[in-house]
Each structure stands twice: as structure tokens, then as C-alpha cells.
């Protein structure tokens, strides 16, 4: 089981250098999870970093998630607690991992579902999360 962070989705959709490696890792897992927060952060990142329109970013993410058979996880009280703890332990201004809100919720959703977290970059490597791939 894998939870896919927005950083990985942005890299894949935008065709960044490591897109194929990240996409292959997703393909290797039968259960692929995302959340509304990671989807929102993906759309936001595609617009901000890669100049997608909001509609284009939403459409391509929706198609990619449908084709990939992604399941949206619910965010409830348990995830709130885990995200808050992630902020206390690894949050921006508190720890070298410098997790932001989206990162904290990706961490929480992965932990709550006992899933490995697929991400790009090094923030999560400074936490206790199980990484799906080290990039």
C-alpha cells in the first residue's frame, strides 16, 4: 500500500526528470492512496510551479487518478491528531524536516493507513515515515 504525496504527483504530471521512476513505483503497488489535501496541493503546485491553469491541473489529476485506480482516503479526527503530532515533531520552524501543512497531512494519511509514503525531495527522510522510494 502506498500513499502518494503531492510532490510525487506534481513531478509525474509535469514530466520532471524523475517522473518515470516515481510513476513506476506507483505502478508497482496495487493499493494507491491520495487525499483531498494532497490533490489540492498537487493542483496548487502545478499552477504555481508549472503554469498550469486550475482547470487543466484539475482535469489531468482527475484522469491520472482514475487511470491509476487511486483511492481517496478520508481525513478525520485520527488524521488530524497525527498531522498535529507531525507538526509538533517535524514542523517548519521546529525541526530540520520543516514539514508544512500539506506535508503533515500526507504524513498523517500514510501513518493512519499503514502505507509507505511516495514523495520527492528530502523533507520526509528526516522523519520516521516509511518511504516508498528514496529520491
CA distance 19 to 110: 21
Question: Please, which pLDDT band fits residue 133 given cuts at 50, 70 and 90?
Answer: confident
CA distance 25 to 81: 28
Q: What's the pLDDT at 117?
A: 98
The answer to whether the beta carbons of residues 82 and 90 sit under 8 Å apart is: no
Domain boundaries along the sequence of the chain: 2-126
- Residue 128 has what DSSP assignment? S
Q: What's the pLDDT at 27?
A: 95
2-126 adopts what CATH topology? Rossmann fold (3.40.50)
Residue 106 pLDDT greater than 60, yes or no: yes
Residue 134 pLDDT greater than 70, yes or no: no
Mean per-residue pLDDT for 102-130? 97
Q: What's the pLDDT at 18?
A: 94
Mean per-residue pLDDT for 61-82? 97
The answer to whether the beta carbons of residues 68 and 21 sit under 8 Å apart is: no
Q: Average pLDDT over the chain, rounded to whole?
A: 96
Q: What is the pTM of this model?
A: 0.94
Cell numbers at residue 58, please?
484539475
Amino acid at each position: 500500500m502506498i500513499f502518494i504525496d503531492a510532490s510525487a504527483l506534481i513531478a509525474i504530471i509535469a514530466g520532471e526528470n524523475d517522473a518515470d521512476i516515481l510513476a513506476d513505483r506507483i505502478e508497482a503497488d496495487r493499493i494507491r492512496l491520495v487525499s483531498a489535501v494532497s490533490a489540492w496541493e498537487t493542483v496548487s503546485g502545478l499552477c504555481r510551479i508549472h503554469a498550469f491553469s486550475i482547470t487543466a491541473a484539475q482535469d489531468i489529476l482527475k484522469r491520472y487518478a482514475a487511470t491509476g485506480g487511486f483511492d481517496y482516503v478520508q481525513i478525520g479526527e485520527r488524521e488530524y491528531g497525527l498531522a498535529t503530532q507531525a507538526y509538533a515533531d517535524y514542523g517548519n520552524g521546529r525541526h530540520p524536516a520543516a514539514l508544512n501543512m500539506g506535508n503533515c497531512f500526507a504524513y498523517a494519511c500514510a501513518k493512519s493507513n499503514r502505507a509507505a509514503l511516495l514523495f520527492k525531495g528530502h523533507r520526509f527522510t528526516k522523519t520516521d515515515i516509511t518511504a516508498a522510494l528514496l529520491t
